[in-house]
Chain A
Amino acid sequence: MQRRSLMKAAATAATLAVFGATTAAAENPVLKIGFVGVTSGPAAAWGISNQRSMEARAAWINETGGYTIGDTTYDIEIVSFDDQKDPKRAIAGMEKMAQEGIHYVVGPNVDDGAAAVRPVAEANDIMYFPYAFPKELYSAPASNAVLGMIANYQSGPAIYKHLMENEGVKTVAFIAANESDPLSQRESGVAAAKELGLEVVSDNVTYQVDTTDFTPVLTPILRARPDLLVLSGVSPANAPQLIRSARELGFQGMISTETAQDAGVLAEGAGDLANGFISVGGASTPELASPMMNEFVERYTAMFGEYNDESNTKVYALEYILETLKATPGAIEDVAAFQASMDDFSAPNPYMNGDEQLTYVGMTSFGQKRQIAVPLVVNVYQNGAFETMFIARVD
């Protein structure tokens, strides 16, 4: 009898504790924002930086009282789904978001996943912010996808042009993993290089995604002795090994990529051999970063133990969604209103110094404003850290 009473008391206490916690957390209504992307497997670093950026920012907002849209202040809840880089699972993830009544989703992270979710998003009035490059997702008649970063066909030509003019680069070789995103990035990279007048000396060598030893893969390419070796769509996991193998094989030329990388990972995996490696950076150099960006980095690090360099690009999507909703409160339930407001939307950019604005761009690439405006920062790795090579803008 005593034991039963004790159990009852414990159950009551637990219920009250849970109820109490729920009540405390439910002081504000909750605005759910979705994330569908890869957070496991070899490409986990891409999605995890997305998810953690959103969670760090949401926790920050909630801690400081919530986010006011119209007359209501909301707590932000991030609903996440790991698509395991599988288009079928990405569709399932987007369907889950629809079932939960979520209209704004960040992700997916790769081309085939982003393309796969388009019908589900359009049928269920979901605006989604992929980190994927197919132009048809962002060009009319498509209207629900907003590119969350700089595309390689925007950064690639800028990098090649800079290297031609400043470093005398004349020949280029490409290497890509044998999967859709890197291959697609290689194709557009080759096209851009040819258009700029570069001689492409190798453009058909690929490697398996799970390759760990790149020496045999690189040997035939390096015989062509290019001035520039482009690692198309290279993942942060593969970049250090490719760089290290190329340098150990005696390659003296320049190495670049159009994907964002992590300085710590390069330092550990390639050390000084990575000096001079050029990559597209996060959206925030030390000169550009505002106090709010610096606080974001501190909060992210406190929450997750280690900062991911990509996250200063990936903090933007959630901010754009919330700021656009703030400018058009009716858009919380009405995606058409969100879309209508994108052409004229403008708000101060809290993550950059100066008078920078959050606006939607993409007219040149897509014929409509379906890309968030983040600065195109091109970095060069030097002795364990990235240095800014140049900064450009995308229309």
Chain B
Amino acid sequence: MEQVMANGVYLGSQYAMIALGLTLIFALMNVLNFAHGQMYVIGGFVTYTFYGQWGVPFVLALFMSCMTLAIIGALIERYLFAPVIKGSAREESTMLLAAGIAFLLDALILLIFGEKQRGVPKIVDGVFNWDFRLIMPYDRILICVLAILSIVAFIALMQYSKTGRALRALAQDRTAAQLMGVNVDRYSMIGFALGAMLAGLVGGLLVTITGVNLGMGGPTSIKAFMMVMIGGAGVISGAIWGGFILGFMEAFGLAYLSQYGDITYLLIFVSLMIFLAIRPQGLMGKPWG
């Protein structure tokens, strides 16, 4: 049980971080960013290039990953999403655009970084072993702590900074925020860049454990959507809850159901369907959206 709980916390913290960026972008712009997983993959590859290939210190490589994704996110918002949102009232337009960006990023990743699985040297060696009841490599513990600290820092930023207040105002009511003097265009771009930066941050952190490859983007996006649906689309606390719930469900399923074959995700999806039928707005979402 100790091992299962530890796995749940570890998986939950990384999943929550993945979901945070996605839900932030959804809250600000009502855009389902299908390319979020690909942004995560780019984050992993940037850290791989700087830390794994060029020997740059890990922290600096992580910073480069965040900056790269923030710039990519800002450019995507300014030159792709913003014009489409202004020119089309239909939500399908942004969804199709997001899907197109996902394919484009996949192609670019293949061209720039190749098709192979990539990994980086461990940032911390050794394994914590409590009498074989709880085994956890130190690098996982470190990444878990960093992920939780990042989540706390993000919440603090959203809660107490001027930017955070503007972003929250934008998410609550775009028109009202504009009337109150919030520069909507500017903060939309900042919000999208921040969401993309979170994808870059988690990609950079997790490449030290899971490695990275071209094909990880799509499945990562799907998991992120599941977490957002569980917690409530567009709600920051919902994304965190969704991440930890999915992490614990996965850890329990793999520990106790594996002898029945690979039914963990089957049960997770069935549970999600039933849950959404009862509470379509998710745990923390409002009934009206």
Contact = CB atoms under 8 A, between A and B. Distances in A.
Is B one of A's binding partners? yes
Interface stretch (A40-48, A101-109, A119-127, A322-330): A40-48
B116 A213 contact: no
Interface stretch (A139-147, A265-273, A290-298): A265-273
Given A44-B110, A210-B216, A237 B117 contact: yes
B258 interface: yes
Contacts of A40: 106, 110, 214-215
Interface string A215-226: 111011100000
A72 interface: no
Contacts, number: 114
Contacts of A238: 117
A213 B262 contact: no
Contacts of B260: 204
A208 B140 CA distance: 21
Question: When A and B form their complex, which 5 residue pairs have the shortest distance between CB atoms, in order from nearest?
Answer: A42-B215, A210-B219, A269-B119, A212-B210, A237-B117
A236 B214 CA distance: 12
A168 interface: no
A245 to B, nearest CB: 9
A42 B216 contact: yes
Given A210-B216, A213-B11, A268 B262 contact: no
B262 A178 contact: yes
A48 B115 contact: yes
Interface of B: 3-4, 7, 10-11, 52, 106, 110, 114-122, 127, 129, 132, 135, 137, 140, 206, 209-211, 213-216, 218-220, 250-251, 254-255, 258-262, 265
Given A40-B110, A43-B215, A44-B215, A217 B117 contact: no
A238 B129 CA distance: 24
A217 B250 CA distance: 10
Contacts of B262: 178, 206-208
The secondary structure that dominates the B interface is helix
B214 A216 contact: no
A181 interface: no
Given A45-B115, A215-B7, A241-B210, A205 B258 contact: yes
A209 to B, nearest CB: 8
Nearest to A304: B114
Contacts of A262: 116
A334 interface: no
Contact of B255 (A213, A219, A240): A219
Contacts of B114: 305-306
B211 A241 contact: yes
Contacts of A305: 114
Contacts of A249: 135
Contacts of B52: 268
B215 A208 contact: no
Interface string A32-51: 00000001111111001000
A229 B77 CA distance: 48
B221 to A, nearest CB: 11
A265 B7 contact: no
B259 A205 contact: yes
Given A205-B259, A208-B262, A265 B116 contact: yes
B135 A216 contact: no
A237 B258 contact: no
B117 A236 contact: yes
Contacts of A44: 110, 115, 214-215
A176 to B, nearest CB: 9
Interface in A217-264: 217, 219-221, 236-238, 240-241, 248-250, 262, 264
B11 A248 contact: no
A351 to B, nearest CB: 23
Interface of A: 39-45, 48, 178, 204-210, 212-213, 215-217, 219-221, 236-238, 240-241, 248-250, 262, 264-265, 268-271, 305-306, 308
A296 B214 CA distance: 26
Contact of B265 (A208, A268, A270): A208
Contact of B117 (A45, A208, A213, A250): A45
Contacts of B215: 40-44, 210, 237
Nearest to B214: A44
Contact of A265 (B119, B206, B258): B119
Most buried by B among A215, A264, A271: A215
Nearest to B7: A216
A268 B258 contact: no
28 contacts: A40-B214, A41-B218, A42-B213, A44-B110, A44-B215, A45-B115, A45-B116, A178-B262, A208-B265, A209-B219, A210-B218, A212-B216, A216-B11, A216-B254, A216-B255, A220-B255, A221-B258, A237-B117, A237-B211, A237-B213, A240-B119, A248-B137, A250-B127, A262-B116, A270-B119, A271-B122, A305-B114, A306-B116
Nearest to A237: B117
B33 to A, nearest CB: 18
A309 to B, nearest CB: 10
A268 B118 contact: yes
Contacts of A41: 214-215, 218
Contacts of B117: 45, 236-238, 240, 265, 268-269
B137 A268 contact: no
B218 to A, nearest CB: 8
A274 B132 CA distance: 22
A344 to B, nearest CB: 39
A268 B44 CA distance: 14
A208 B264 CA distance: 9
Nearest to B103: A40
